[in-house]
A and B are shown apart, each in its own frame.
Chain A
Amino acid sequence: MIEEALKEQVYALRERKDGAVEALVEQYTGPLMGAAFALGFPETDAEELVQETFAALLSSISRFEMRSQLKTYLFGILYNKAKTLRGKQAREKRVDPQDPVFQGRFDKMGLWTAPPKGPEDAALNDELRGWIRRCSEGLSLTQRAVLFLKDVDGEETESVCNILELSHTNVRVLLHRARNKMRECLEKHWD
């Protein structure tokens, strides 16, 4: 069942009704800029990416079948454009170098042999924020996308699958790697 508000917005965009494009830009510039930053783009590149995303949406709006929310559709376009901008041809590795590091922390029974170090919780001071920024730079584009959509935007896994056109298994693996990479990187700081 397509929501009335979504239908109205899409029909208004298709017909280029007065104010429709302005409303679209007003509503989604902030969230899209946030996503572009999360994907690692500096401000000027992020703006270009978002601009191209809106342009691509307007070009393809007649083909948008409203099976997803507009935000989901926009994020999908943004992500694909980000991949093109980055010239990302290589697929995500089947085995991330971090995988054996994490596996090595457990014995055959699945019990910790090298338990996590560092605090269970900590105040978000400038030093920690700096480490978060540095550690997030070690993530791949897709790992960043999954982490942003799940941990920052609070999207359900199914929605992430639709946006990034990935299987449920792929999203789980990417999220696992992204979160572990961040944690392992931060642990070096806590050491």
Chain B
Amino acid sequence: MMKMPFMSSCKELTDTLAEGELESVYWHKRLLIRMHLAMCVHCNRFAGQLALIAKALREHWKPRARVHGYDAVKRRILSHLKGQGPNRC
């Protein structure tokens, strides 16, 4: 994609996305970014892959809590905290 006036370059756009700054830019810049993504297949792929990685990490790093429930862990932790002495628990 050619660099269009007023639009971010592909490098600037990928930096904005990777730094998590998309929601903090002014609305008109966000609009230009969305226009760029609509026209640039490479940047669109980059953005899609970042979203896929975030989705996969949410699955990878969070599900154990839901599966385990952590009842046994909580019991052990409480038992340890209560056994620490008068200043702890």
Contacts and interface: CB of A to CB of B under 8 A. Distances in A.
Interface of A: 16, 21-22, 25-26, 29-31, 33-34, 37-38, 47, 50-51, 54-55, 58-59, 106, 109-112, 115-116, 118-122, 124, 128-129, 132-133, 136, 147-148, 150-152, 157, 172-173, 175-176, 179-180, 182-183, 186
Given A30-B65, A37-B61, A51-B77, A183 B88 contact: no
Contact of B48 (A47, A121, A186): A121
Contacts of B88: 55, 58-59
A21 B10 contact: no
Q: Is the interface of B mostly helix, strand, loop or mixed?
A: helix
Given A116-B49, A124-B56, A111 B65 contact: no
Contacts of B58: 151-152
B20 A150 contact: yes
| Centre residue among B9, B42, B55, B62 by max chain A CB count within 10 A | B62
A147 B19 CA distance: 11
Given A118-B45, A120-B45, A129-B56, A51 B80 contact: yes
B31 interface: no
Interface in B33-65: 42-46, 48-62, 64-65
A23 B18 CA distance: 37
B48 A120 contact: yes
Interface of B: 1-3, 8-12, 15, 18-21, 24, 42-46, 48-62, 64-65, 68, 70, 73-74, 76-78, 80-82, 84, 87-89
A47 B73 contact: yes
Nearest to B70: A29
Task: Classify the interface of chain A: helix, strand, loop or mixed.
Answer: helix
A26 B49 contact: no
B62 A157 contact: no
B61 A50 contact: no
A147 B77 contact: no
A115 B15 CA distance: 14
B81 A21 contact: yes
A157 B20 CA distance: 8
Contacts of A37: 61, 64
A183 B50 contact: yes
B78 A22 contact: yes
B19 A116 contact: no
A26 B83 CA distance: 18
A160 B19 CA distance: 13
19 contacts: A21-B78, A25-B77, A33-B73, A34-B65, A47-B77, A54-B77, A55-B80, A58-B89, A106-B9, A111-B1, A111-B2, A112-B42, A116-B42, A119-B48, A119-B52, A122-B52, A152-B61, A183-B49, A186-B53
